[in-house]
Amino acid sequence: MYRLHESGLPADFQFPADLEKLGYAINDRDQVRSIKNPEQEFNFFISKNERMNVVQREAFNTCLRRNIQSRVLASSMSLTNLPLGTPPTRPHIPIYTSTNIATCNRLIVYLGESWQDLGVLAWRTIGQETVAAGSILDFIHTIQSTSPDNPGILIANTGQLLWYRGGERAVTQTTWTALPRQWAVSPPMEIDAEKNRVPGHKDANEHIASIFNDVIPKMCEKDVVIDVIGMGDAGPIVAEYLQGNWGKWDGKVKAVAIGSGSIWPGEKIGEGKFKKFWEERARAYIQSGEPLETPLSGREDFGCNCYSAGQNEVVERIMPVAYKSMLRFFQLVNDVPGYRELPEMTTGVDGVV
């Protein structure tokens, strides 16, 4: 009988977290392109072996995460570890906060999808357009350059909620599956419910609750007002949190914008004061092929006015396309006393006016 010894198993793949060694560079237009072929975007399928492709992508993404972080930190932003006060070597979840967060009168909070890396809006946009467009860089620079009241910025981290002890860092589920293994055919490391989780941040619900219950009260002025963006699954999570805690946040949260597919994935907005707020101060930006801001049907499902996000590809593309519209909405709410959204009159087919 033949049997396979461990010594005969293929070694796991390794790629350097070095953009140049991987064959890529960021050009003068902030595009990531092949060095050999300056028009070629990142190539995931370098092999028929899925494991090789995944490990190569993780090395590539590691390079870009480092690039994004260095540029974010050079843009009047700081890394803040949660729970607050946790040293870098202990289990923590990093978020970005602006350097003026302790003194700002208005705070813009971004809650991304639960599978995205910190600071990344859409990997597709980074790969096909520019690093700044697909990350929070253009977003924060727009706030800093166009908002007259100089609001503070908080970028939550709903995706990197697994603690990788070997690397002493928080990672996404996608990164977890790409971490080094004993053999190329070994299964992913098991996730220990205690050792690989951070207390108070075991899932996106806990993380978002921590942002409101712990971070904002301790880091911001008592009378700060807040605008919130919730992308993808973060939208219904923050809606559910605010609805259950509206007695605390009524009058402090000024406006909410969510990005979503065409169906509201959460529970219906209940009755009471929060329902009235949601109807008058919330907007849903929905995947659609119609031009950005075209009024759409869906108010019955989403509980608020719905508008086209200007793209119909995937939810992660909403933010790079629609964030300027969201920021204009926030500015309008804050500039106009008593502002409220009126129900849009929508008729026609496919949800379009």
Per-residue model confidence as pLDDT tens digits over 74-86:
999 999 999 999 9
pLDDT for res 351? 44
Residue 61 region, left (φ>0) first, then alpha (ψ -120 to 50), else beta?
alpha
Q: What is the pLDDT of residues 143-163, one digit of tens each?
A: 999 989 999 999 999 999 999
Q: Say how many C-beta atoms besides its own lie within 10 A of residue 48's C-beta.
A: 7
Report d(CA 250, CA 99) in Å as an integer.
26
The DSSP symbol for 179 reads S
Mean pLDDT calculated for residue range 111-122: 97
pLDDT for the residue 352: 42
- Percent of the chain at pLDDT > 90 equals 88
Q: For the ranges 108-112, 215-219, 299-303, which has the lowest average pLDDT? A: 299-303
Coil, strand or helix at 86: coil
Judged by DSSP in three states, 269 sits in coil
pLDDT band at 263 (very low <50, low <70, confident <90, very high): confident
How far apart CA 326 and CA 353 sit, in angstroms, is 20
Mean pLDDT over 37-56 rounds to: 96
Token digits of residue 353: 């006016």
The model's pTM is 0.94
Say what the pLDDT of residue 267 is: 74
The total number of residues shown for the chain amounts to 353
Per-residue confidence (pLDDT) for residue 348, from 0 to 100? 40
